[in-house]
Amino acid sequence: MALMSALAATAAYADEVEKPFWTLNDEGGITWRYDGRAHTDHIEMAGQQMAVVLHYGITGEGRFTCERHLVFPMLRTIPNDTHGSFIRYVGWEPLESVLIGQSRLVDRSEQVESVSLKGLLTVQSQWGTIGVRRTLSTSVTLPALVEQYELTNLGDRAVAVSIEPTEHRMTSDAAQGVDGAYVVEERLYGTGSYTLAPQQSLTFTAVLSARRQNEQPLTCDAAAEIAARRQRVDEWQRNLVLATPDSVLNRMFAFAKIRACESIFQTKNGPMHGPGGERYYAAIWANDQAEYANPFFPFIGDEYANASAMNSWRMFAQWMNDEWKPIPSSIIAEGTSYWNGAGDRGDAAMIAYGASRYALARGNRDEAARLWPLIEWTLEYCRRQLNDAGVVRSDRDELEGRFPSGNANLCTSSLYYDALLSAAYLARDLKRPAAVARGYEQQARELRGAIDRYFHAEVEGFDTYRYYEGNTVLRSWICIPLTMNIFDRAKGTIDALYSPRLWTKDGMLTQAGSETFWDRSTLYALRGALMAGDTERTLGFLQYYSRTRLLGSHVPYAIEAWPEGNQRHLSAESALYARIITEGLFGIRPTGLHRFTVSPRLPQAWPEMSLHHVRICGSDFDLRVYRDKRQRVQVQLIKNGRVIDHGQGEVEFRTTEIHGNNGSTRK
C-alpha cells in the first residue's frame, strides 16, 4: 500500500517529467537537444574569485541567448554588508566579432543543436555552413568568466574567417566601492584573419574579468582555465561515487557534488563557502555552512572544502563570550563583520551539530581538539536556553520569521539533541574525563523525552509534531527528528509529509495551505524518511524529485525556494541532496574519529548499491550493499578492491582496521 500510495502521488505530476528538456549523456553530464520548444533557464557556477549566473535559453527560431550576471565577492561595495559584492549584468556576444567572408556570422540564422552541462555550459550550433561550439566556465582561481569558441567549416569550400580585435572596458563609480572604482573588461584572444578548409576548425577565446582600478589588467589563458575547471570537476567526480541501478539518481548525486564544492571563495580571511544566488557571498551562515554543508565535506575528501569548514568554525569561535550572548547567525564581508538581524535562530544548536558531526567525519584528532572548545560552548549555550518544559528557546528558526516558529521550535531542540550525542562520541575519542560523555548522554536522554512531551501532537489528523506551541497546521520541518534518529512518531510524520497537504509537484510546502516551498525541508524529509526505514515509498518521491530537478524545466541542482529568490541554485542545498544518499540511503553515521555505523536502506528492486571512495574517518574506502541468496542485506567494506570487513544489516566499522589494526564491531 505504501508503494502504491507513492506511485499514485508522483503519477499526478507525471507530465513534469514525461517530456523532459534534458537527457543523460555519455560524458557524465546532461544534454538538451533542441526540439523546437522555446525555453529559458538559469544556472550558477563559481570559482575562488567570482561567480556567474547564466540566464540562457533557445528562442522559437533556434537562436541561443545568454545574459551573464557576474559576481565578484572580493570587490566589495558600499554598504559593505551581506549583499555587498560587486555585480554586473553583461549581454556581450563575442560571436559578433566574427566575419565569414565579408558578412557577420551573427547575421546568419543560428540553429542550436544541443546544450550540455557538467560543471561547464557547452552549446553546439550551426550558422549556415559554420558549426560553432561555445564553452562557458568560471576560472578556478581568477576573477574571470572564460569562454571558448570553436568554429568549424562544415561546407565543401574553403572560407575566409576574420575575428576582429575587441576590448570593452566599464568602470564603476568610485564612491560605491570599498576600494574605489572597479573595472570590468571584455577581451578577445586569438583574433586575426584565417582560411578554413572544409572540416577544418579554429578556436578563439573570450574573457570577462574585473579588478580594482589601480591594479594591472588581467591576462588570462582561457583554454588553460577551462581545462583547469574540467580537471576540478573530474576530481569531485572521482571521489564519493554513487553506483545504483538508477542512473538519474547517480547523475543527480554527481552534480550535487559539483555545486556543493564549487562555491568557496578565497577571501582576505581565508576560504569561505557561500550560498550564492547573486546575494550571499564571502560570508557564512550557521545553517547553510555549519549545519548543511560542512558535515558533508569530509565525505568527498576535498581539502579546499575542508579548509573552508575549519575556517568557518574559527570565525564562529571568535564570538564565544563569557556573557553567553548568542553567536551571530552570519559572518559577512570576507569575515570583517556580522549579521544577526533575526536574533537567535537556534544558531548555537546549528553550530554544535555541524561542528561535532564534521569533527567525527573528518577523523583528524588535531582538528577535533581545536573544535572542542566551540562545541562545548555552543552546547552549554543551548543548555542555558532550556525553558521550563526542557526544550530550547530561540527567537526564530532558519527561516528568520518568514513563517511563525514560536519561542521554542522543533528544529532547534532536535539539532541540540544530535549534537549532544556526537559530542559524547567525540569526548571519548579525545580522552576527556568519562563524566563529560556521560553527562552529554544524560542530557540527550532528558531532551529526547522533553521533545516528545512538548512537541508531540495530533496535527490535521496526523500523529506527529507541532512545530511550536500553538501550531495547528502541518509544517514540513516536522521531518527534523527523523534525521536525528528519533523515530517515535515516524509513521504519522512521514504520512503527513507525503500527504497532499504538504507534498506538491514542486516538492514540500513549508506550511500546509501556503504556496511556498523551500527545497531544504524537502531534502531533510527525504533523508529522514529513508533513515526511518520508509524505503519503498520514499524512493518513489526521491526519484520524482531527482528527475524534476536534473532533467526538467529548471536544472540541474537542488534549489533554494519559490516564490522567493526565483529558485536560486544555492550551494548548500546540493550538500543536503548528497546527504540523502550518504546518511539516508546508506545510513552512514560517524560514531568516533575512526568509527562509523552503516544502516543501509536497499530498495527491494535493487540487487545492490555502492559508494566508492568514501573519505570519512581518516580513510578512503568503498561500501557495497547487496542481498545474499537468502535475501539478507549484507554490507562490505572494501579497500583497494579487497574486502576488508563485512557484516549483515546495521554494521559498525572501525577504519583503523583498514590500516591493518583492530577489528570491527557489529550491532
Which parts of 501-563 fold into alpha helices (H)?
A: 519-531, 535-551
Banded model confidence at residue 18, pLDDT cuts 50, 70, 90: low
pLDDT per residue over 309-365, tens digit each? 999 999 999 999 999 999 999 999 999 999 999 999 999 999 999 999 999 999 999
**What's the N-to-C CA distance of the chain in angstroms?**
30
The model's pLDDT over 494-524, given as tens digits with 9 standing for 90+, comes to 999 999 999 999 999 999 999 999 999 999 9
pLDDT digits (tens, 9 = 90+) for 229-246: 999 999 999 999 999 999
Q: β-pairing, 264-267 with 270-273?
A: antiparallel
pLDDT digits (tens, 9 = 90+) for 590-609: 999 999 999 999 999 999 99
**Of the given ranges (6-10, 42-46, 127-131, 231-235), which has the lowest mean pLDDT?**
6-10
Quick one: CA dihedral 396, 502, 549, 615, positive or negative? Answer: positive
Q: Which domains are delineated in the chain?
A: 34-232 (2.70.98), 239-592 (1.50.10.10), 595-666 (no CATH)
- In the prediction, which pLDDT does 662 show? 33
Q: Residues 70, 285: contact at Cβ < 8 Å?
A: no
- Cα torsion for 58, 61, 62, 68, to the nearest 10°? -40
Per DSSP, the residues of 457-490 read EEETTEEEE-SSTT--S-BGGGGHHHHTT--TTH
pTM of the prediction? 0.96
- Whether pLDDT at 6 is above 60: no
CB atoms < 10 A from the CB of 667, how many? 9
Set of cell numbers at residue 528: 529522514
3-state secondary structure 304-369: HHHHHHHHHHHHHHCCCCCCCCCCCCEEEHHHCEEECCCCCCCHHHHHHHHHHHHHHHHCCHHHHH
How does pLDDT run across 401-448, given as a tens digit for each residue? 999 999 999 999 999 999 999 999 999 999 999 999 999 999 999 999
Which residues 6+ apart lie within 8 Å of 502 measured at CB?
474, 476, 496, 508, 509, 512
**Type and span of the H or E element at 270:** strand 270-273
Phi/psi for 93 (5° steps) reads -125, 95
Percent of the chain clearing pLDDT 70 (strictly above): 96
Res. 568 pLDDT band, cuts 50 70 90: very high
User: What pLDDT sits at residue 20?
Assistant: 83
Nearest to 348 by CA among 300, 280, 395, 295: 395
The grid cell for 179 is 576600494
Asked whether 120 and 96 are in contact (CB, 8 A), the reply is no
Which residue type, as a one-letter code, is found at position 131? G
Report the distance separating Cα 407 and Cα 421, nearest Å. 24
235, three cell numbers:
576530481
